[in-house]
Amino acid sequence: MSTMNLTLLTDLYELTMMQGYFKNNCNETVVFDMFYRTNPCGNGYAICAGLDQLIDYIRRLSFSDDDIAYLDSLHLFEDDFLEYLRGFHFSGDIYAIPEGTVVFPREPLVKVVAPIMEAQLVETALLTIINHQSLIATKTARVVYAADGGGVMEFGLRRAQGPDAGVYGARAAMIAGCIGTSNVLAGQLFDVPVKGTHAHSWIMSFPDEYTAFRKYSELYPDACCLLVDTYDTLKSGVPNAIRVFTEMRESGIELKNYGIRLDSGDLAYLTKRARQMLDEAGFSDAFISASSDLDEYLITSLKSQGCKIDSWGVGTNMITSRDCPAFGGVYKLAAVQDENGNFIPKIKLSENIEKITNPGNKTVFRIYEKADHKIKADLICLADETFDDTKDLTIFDPLETWKRTKLKAGTYELRELLVPVFKNGKCVYTSPSVMELRDICSKELDTLWEEHRRLINPSQMYVDLSDQLYDIKKNLLHQMSM
């Protein structure tokens, strides 16, 4: 992806609308918000991710001669518009919540302030990129939470929805707390740890399992993880592994970072028995790694049965977010700038009250409890509103407005979540490395109460509107219904 021109990675209607704006000479500056309505997988929060790839996409936006020729071949676009596209580049502003941040429904994760033709063009790719990585990061945070300190390795490339899904999915999984990935290209692109040993085919290509193990141990004495389930885990695999570990010890090799991997069978029963066999043979520091259709629920269930698993290789269910394979991010017009430079709020109605958009040029503040730095609530407000945290602050639920909370001065702290990423088409933001994002994300997760992290039916975080924003929304709804 990083070397490809993705300018045409867009829905056709973005281009037909662009031509419409072009022909009508309307290219006023507008505000679009990218936000989502429901946390994936029944989670209590999401982790936003993908901003670095979005930046890359915006920077490279330009129509090549081939692109123009292709669009011309569709017989939909006129010469003057195609000529405009030839010189196209993004000239607007973009604000975003940094990657690795804990986020909640309805708050803008990305805000685009740009001439409408530009803001419209970038909709589709922006959604594709942010939706995908935020989905996998959120799913991974659940899996890592279930592993409860055990390492989680991302092993899903072969079942990912195409190469990008494997590579950028691995990136998102690393941000959200994996200790490594099997994906070598992701390792190269993002400088993250790569993990892996051998497959059943290695075992099967030798005359017997013992020989296969021994050959492997000779080659990788410092990272000797033996796959024990090719023939019979307890009768053949573990005994052969113990035989090889014993020979290694007897030949004077200092055993460290060694162990076994299981990829099938009943992982609770087999790992308890294997642990016992390894311990009895004097290999109590050998690790046990497991894979096989794992997800956050199976990990929780296996742990509740006392399985002896030190690290988890998670594939299909994490790289596809199997129980919820799409993050429902949307991109909605929120305001149009008038000739005086004022942003006129716009609203999208819906029969479903939760689907009505929040109008205006907005930002998001996070309110922390000062005492423990846990999140108290998020506050969506107009971009030019200011709050003084040396004074009391009253927040209220935008749907059930009688639910009010008064925050006493000095007990809370405010942080604006949206930061400038592009200004007048220039990137003004430097992305941290993926391993730095992993640290940031880990600290972010610490700002949540356990009640928000529970895998099933977690507490929902309050995301409130400021008084000013609430009034604008109410008035617009009133006008529309007249």
Which long-range contacts link 381-384 to residues 24+ away (Cβ below 8 Å)?
A: 381/465, 381/466, 381/468, 381/469, 382/466, 382/468, 382/469, 382/472
Which of 10/447 has CB closer to its own copies?
Answer: 10
Alpha-carbon distance of 224 to 123, in angstroms, equals: 48
Which of 129/469 has CB closer to its own copies?
Answer: 129
Give the chain's radius of gyration (CA, Å).
26
Nearest approach in angstroms of CB 231 to its own copies is 6
Which of 361/447 has CB closer to its own copies?
Answer: 361
Which of 196/425 has CB closer to its own copies?
Answer: 196
H/E/C letters for each residue in 300-359?
A: HHHHHCCCCCCEEEECHHHHCCCCCCCCCCEEEEEEEECCCCCEEECCCCCCCHHHCCCC
Which of 22/429 has CB closer to its own copies?
Answer: 22
Nearest approach in angstroms of CB 398 to its own copies is 21
Three-state secondary-structure class, residue 114: strand
DSSP string, 244-258: HHHHHHHTT----SE
Nearest approach in angstroms of CB 366 to its own copies is 27
**Residue in 111, 131, 113, 126 with CA at minimum distance from that of residue 48:** 131
Which of 340/481 has CB closer to its own copies?
Answer: 481
Q: 């594709």: which residue's tokens?
A: 128
Nearest approach in angstroms of CB 255 to its own copies is 18
Nearest approach in angstroms of CB 317 to its own copies is 8
Nearest approach in angstroms of CB 161 to its own copies is 4
Are 103 and 48 a contacting pair, CB within 8 Å? yes
Q: 């994490």: which residue's tokens?
A: 318
Alpha-carbon distance of 137 to 441, in angstroms, equals: 10
CA 252 to chain CA centroid, nearest Å:
45
**Residue in 322, 403, 412 with CA at minimum distance from that of residue 367:** 412
Which of 29/101 has CB closer to its own copies?
Answer: 29
Nearest approach in angstroms of CB 451 to its own copies is 29
